[in-house]
Amino acid sequence: MKTTIAIIVSAFVLGTAGTSLAADKTKSYNKDVCIVTDNKLGSMGRIITKTYDGQEVKFCCKPCVKKFENNPRKYLSKL
Protein backbone atom coordinates (compact mmCIF):
# COMPACT_ATOMS: atom_id res chain seq x y z
CA MET A 1 0.00 0.00 0.00
CA LYS A 2 2.79 2.47 0.88
CA THR A 3 4.53 1.68 -2.41
CA THR A 4 1.34 2.42 -4.38
CA ILE A 5 0.88 5.76 -2.61
CA ALA A 6 4.53 6.66 -3.21
CA ILE A 7 4.17 5.90 -6.92
CA ILE A 8 1.00 7.99 -7.20
CA VAL A 9 2.59 10.90 -5.33
CA SER A 10 5.75 10.67 -7.46
CA ALA A 11 3.70 10.65 -10.67
CA PHE A 12 1.74 13.69 -9.48
CA VAL A 13 4.90 15.60 -8.54
CA LEU A 14 6.58 14.79 -11.84
CA GLY A 15 3.47 15.77 -13.77
CA THR A 16 3.21 19.03 -11.87
CA ALA A 17 6.89 19.79 -12.38
CA GLY A 18 6.54 19.26 -16.13
CA THR A 19 3.61 21.65 -16.24
CA SER A 20 5.45 24.20 -14.16
CA LEU A 21 8.50 24.09 -16.42
CA ALA A 22 6.33 24.67 -19.48
CA ALA A 23 4.68 27.67 -17.81
CA ASP A 24 8.08 29.10 -16.86
CA LYS A 25 9.02 29.39 -20.56
CA THR A 26 6.45 32.16 -21.06
CA LYS A 27 8.08 35.59 -20.87
CA SER A 28 6.18 37.91 -18.56
CA TYR A 29 4.87 41.31 -19.62
CA ASN A 30 6.60 43.88 -17.42
CA LYS A 31 4.88 47.08 -18.54
CA ASP A 32 1.94 48.76 -16.82
CA VAL A 33 0.55 50.09 -20.12
CA CYS A 34 -1.23 48.51 -23.10
CA ILE A 35 1.19 47.29 -25.75
CA VAL A 36 -0.97 48.88 -28.49
CA THR A 37 -2.07 52.28 -27.16
CA ASP A 38 0.20 52.86 -24.15
CA ASN A 39 -2.94 53.47 -22.06
CA LYS A 40 -2.58 52.55 -18.39
CA LEU A 41 -3.69 48.93 -17.92
CA GLY A 42 -7.07 48.85 -16.22
CA SER A 43 -8.04 52.35 -17.37
CA MET A 44 -10.45 50.98 -19.96
CA GLY A 45 -11.90 48.20 -17.80
CA ARG A 46 -10.71 44.65 -17.31
CA ILE A 47 -7.13 43.94 -18.40
CA ILE A 48 -6.91 41.36 -21.21
CA THR A 49 -3.90 39.03 -21.08
CA LYS A 50 -2.87 36.83 -24.01
CA THR A 51 0.20 34.78 -24.80
CA TYR A 52 1.72 35.14 -28.24
CA ASP A 53 4.64 32.95 -29.30
CA GLY A 54 5.81 32.46 -25.70
CA GLN A 55 5.40 36.12 -24.72
CA GLU A 56 2.69 37.33 -22.36
CA VAL A 57 1.02 40.48 -23.71
CA LYS A 58 -1.50 42.75 -21.96
CA PHE A 59 -4.17 44.97 -23.48
CA CYS A 60 -6.45 47.71 -22.20
CA CYS A 61 -9.47 46.59 -24.29
CA LYS A 62 -10.74 44.13 -26.94
CA PRO A 63 -10.16 46.45 -29.93
CA CYS A 64 -6.46 46.53 -29.03
CA VAL A 65 -6.31 42.73 -29.19
CA LYS A 66 -7.61 42.88 -32.78
CA LYS A 67 -5.11 45.58 -33.74
CA PHE A 68 -2.30 43.51 -32.23
CA GLU A 69 -3.39 40.34 -34.03
CA ASN A 70 -3.32 42.19 -37.38
CA ASN A 71 0.36 43.10 -36.92
CA PRO A 72 1.92 41.45 -33.84
CA ARG A 73 5.54 42.12 -34.88
CA LYS A 74 4.91 45.86 -34.91
CA TYR A 75 3.77 45.83 -31.29
CA LEU A 76 6.15 43.15 -30.00
CA SER A 77 9.03 45.34 -31.14
CA LYS A 78 8.06 47.69 -28.26
CA LEU A 79 9.24 45.06 -25.81
Residues 16-40: pLDDT tens digits?
444 444 556 999 999 999 999 999 9
Cα–Cα–Cα angle for 33, 21, 15, rounded to 5 degrees: 130
> Cβ distance 34 to 48 under 8 Å?
no
Q: Is the pTM for the entire model greater than 0.75?
A: no
Three-state SS at 26 = coil
> Cβ distance 46 to 53 under 8 Å?
no
pLDDT for 67 equals 98
